[in-house]
Structure 1
Amino acid sequence: MVSPLPGSAWWAGLPPAAGAAVMAAGILSVALHLTGHEVLSLVALALAGALWLVLAADFTARLLGDRGRFRAEADTPAALTAVAATTVLGTRLCALGWQSAAAALLALAAALWPGLLVGVLRHWRRRMPGVAFLGCVATEGLAVLAAVLADVGHHDWLARAALAAFCLGLLLYGAALVRFDLREVIGGAGDHWVAGGALSICALAGSKLTASPVWTGAAHTALRTATLTALALSLLWYAVLLGAELRHPRPHYDIRRWATVFPLGMTATACLSAAQPAGLPWLRPLGEVLLWIAVGACLLTCAAFLATRWTAHRRRP
């Protein structure tokens, strides 16, 4: 048994679902960059990077020191947040011009993805919560980062790999949808929003592929159609889920609420990214409105988290 890392007591025991916080901060950084709010974008990026390092250290400590717990948690859908968070962080680093770091994160995410995905798929069942869609999210995250790196480095093979991941992600979405428990829309703790957010990241991946010069003619038309369809369905989910939240409020903090912030930010990012390649400029102002809703949700979730931690600290003997 490997002893715990020095000073690790405060973060030891974090559940895999904590990766959604990295995803949320990372995608908000991407969206803020797309709207020209660079200072706020870098703040969000720094937060995402710090959280990613903490969770990576925790992941490594479990792998080396607690194999039983590692294997048990690796088979849960929330474990795929490790892949998704890594790709989101890599996408933002690529926008900074740090292609080498982004490529390293893509390689890491691609190495983690098959084992985690297979383990999760083996344990799929009927009537699953929103985390069922994380297989799609993780796969589409690979597609987004691969497409971005392919465009920057003019690597056609990487663009083709991104297309393969995009198509597989769509298939995984359909497989998850038939297993999704629709009662989660009314009573879910936060991760039910991934039902819509998964389509948003599909639209984001599609927009990156559509903007690539690799795809022309019928292929470009098909990608544009798939992108707009995924985006339209994600906006429909957004309206349904928001209406359910207003009708059935769930004010108490739950770590799965970070899986609400991420889809909110991802939908905004998808609108902002798809506006130009789709030839629909009105998507940009819509994306800007959705971005500030996502930022507000992030701040509220942070406040709820801090309040919960403060209350727990005061109750300690």
Structure 2
Amino acid sequence: MSGTASLGTGGRFRTAVAGLPPSCFAFVMATGIVSAALRQSGRPVPSEVLFWIAAAALVILLAATVWRAVAFRREFTADALSPVKNFGNFTFVAGLNVVGLHFDMTGRPAAGLALACVALLAWLALTYLIPAVLLLREHSRPVLDDANGSWFLWVVATQSMSTAASSAARVHDSGGFAVAGAALWGIGVVLYLLIGTMVTLRLITHPNRPEGLSPTYWIFMGATAISVLAGSNLLRLPDTFPAIAGMRGFVSGASFVLWSTGLWWVPLLVVFGIWRHVVHHYHLRYETALWSIVFPLGMLATSSMVFGRVQGMPEVAAIGEAVVWVAVPAWAIAVYLMVAAAVRWMRPGAADGRAATA
């Protein structure tokens, strides 16, 4: 018996927690938004099932992350300082707000607001700590060399905060929340432009290898989709809020451009996958990054339905309803691969204790 198999079950779980990636909450994001897409398409029962799976996963992963931060500080700190991994921490912010979105959609806004308050604290900390680490800490090579699709999680988290603020403005008739939602949406759009430029420069100026072209690049599209959802939430607010009246036209037009751009990205992202797995025979296995495919698909479905209905564009809403039938099977396939990896990891003789969380 080799590797971590000789450690016993307790030792193997400790090893798994030590290797828990910062982006582990991507499962919560993906499951929660597919739940929202199902509810938007008129399927409340499967939506509720997926919601409770996402909520349970949020609690479990939060406990595991706290355990890791306390018991494995070296590994936790190394990931926090890594330009490749540290943006994954934004999945916690987005995961909280996606779960909160379900509460807003089902008439329980107080619970959604409570989650948004926790998410806000995490967003503020990460929004300023991560750039400080990237720009002020000494690096052995240019930071741009490590730019990848996970950097768009900053945009996703920011737009999730905008969505939460807009929902609070609608429920509480608060101009302050409306201003916050509009401001966060604008910040998210600017961040998308900045990060999109950096990641594209990385793609066109460095050699692309199968192991490097991970599913995280699907967040190129996911970031546009959640920007459309956040914009749609703003457009649902009345013009009695000056912040909304002053930028309604811009939000409407920009949201449509972002929606179009996100849809345009999909075929190219599929080509990336074919190049990786078919042309270069890169083995398809479970990795946390797979949820970076599921989440954008679920978000594209949800945002298209909401935006299409808000703007009176049934063609856009119909595309969203169609994408639901892609997002749900994608979620099921990712779950199957995750469970299969966990079963292999639990078998006696398994060589890698990180197999279920890598």
- The answer (yes or no) to whether the contact 1:166–1:205 under 8 Å persists in 2 is yes
Is the contact made by 2:182 and 2:244 (CA closer than 8 Å) also made in structure 1?
Answer: no
The residue aligned with 1:172 is 191
Instruction: Write out aligned runs for 1:70-89 (5 A).
Output: 70-75=76-81, 76-89=86-99
The answer to whether residue 116 in structure 2 is matched with residue 106 in structure 1 is yes
Q: Give the equivalent residue in structure 2 for 1:246.
A: 274
Aligned to 1:234: 262
Which residue of structure 1 aligns with residue 289 of structure 2? 256
Q: Which runs of 4+ in 1 moved over 6 A?
A: 183-186
The 8 Å contact of residues 184 and 192 in structure 1, kept in 2 or not, is answered as: no
Q: Are residues 205 and 184 of structure 1, via their aligned partners in 2, closer, same or farther at CA, if it must alter by over 3 Å?
A: farther
What one-letter code is carried by the residue in structure 1 that aligns with 2:267?
Answer: A
Corresponding residue of 1:297: 330
Name which of 121, 126, 129 aligns with 2:144: 126
Q: Which amino acid aligns with 1:151?
A: R
- Measured in 2, the distance between the counterparts of 1:277 and 1:231 equals 14
Q: Aligned partners of 2:80, 2:59: CA distance in 1, in Å?
A: 18
| 3-state secondary structure, aligned to 2:198 | coil
Instruction: Determine if contact 1:203/1:231 at 8 Å carries over to the other structure.
Output: yes
Q: Which string of whole-angstrom CA distances, capped at 9 and with x for unpartnered residues, describes residues 260-282 of structure 1?
A: 11111111111011012222111
Give the residue type in structure 1 aligned to 2:26.
Answer: A
Structure 1 counterpart SS, 2:313: coil
TM-score (norm 2): 0.81
Q: Residue 206 of structure 1 aligns with which residue?
A: 231
Correspondence for 1:57: 63
- Cα deviation digits, residues 256-309 of structure 1 (max 9, x gap): 111111111111111011012222111122101111101111111111112222
In structure 2, what is the Cα distance between the partners aligned to 1:96 and 1:70?
A: 36
Q: Which range moved further: 231-240 or 209-218?
A: 209-218
Q: For the residues of structure 1 that align with 2:245 and 2:114, how far apart are their CA atoms?
A: 33
Q: Partners in 1 of 2:32 and 2:209 — Cα distance?
A: 25
Query: Which residues of structure 1 form unaligned runs of 5+?
Result: 1-5
Q: What is the rounded CA distance, in whole Å, between the counterparts of 2:46 and 2:342 in structure 1? A: 25
| Equivalent in the alignment of 1:149 | 168
Q: What is the CA distance between 1:61 and its match in structure 2?
A: 2.5
Aligned to 1:30: 36
- Cα deviation 1:167-222 (Å, max 9, x = unaligned): 11111111211221336697522111011111111111011101211366552111
Q: 1:77 to 1:184 in 2, by over 3 A?
A: farther
- Where 1:179 maps in the other structure, the secondary structure is helix
d(CA) in 2 for partners of 1:149 and 1:8?
A: 43
131-140 or 216-225: bigger deviation: 216-225
Amino acid at match of 1:241: L
The higher radius of gyration belongs to 2
Is the CA contact (8 Å cut-off) linking 1:261 and 1:298 kept in structure 2?
yes
Shift of 1:123: 2.0
Query: 8 Å contact 2:25–2:91 — kept in the other structure?
Result: yes
Structure ranking higher on relative contact order (CA contacts 8 Å, 6+ apart): 2
Distance in structure 2 (CA, Å) of the matches to 1:315 and 1:67: 28
Query: Retained in 2: the 8 A contact 1:185–1:192?
Result: no
Q: What secondary structure is seen at the aligned counterpart in 2 of 1:62?
A: helix
Task: Specify which of 258, 265, 271 is matched with residue 298 of structure 2.
Answer: 265
Aligned-residue sequence identity (percent) comes to: 29
User: Which residue number in structure 1 is paired with residue 215 of structure 2?
Assistant: 190
Instruction: Please list the CA deviations of residues 226-245 of structure 1 after superposition, one character each: whole Å capped at 9, or x if unmatched.
Output: 11011111111112112332
Name the SS of the counterpart of 1:178 in structure 2.
helix
Question: Which one of 306, 318, 335 corresponds to residue 285 of structure 1?
Answer: 318
Secondary structure in 2 aligned to 1:126?
Answer: helix
Whether contact under 8 Å (2:225, 2:258) holds in the other structure is: yes
Equivalent residue, structure 2, for 1:47: 53
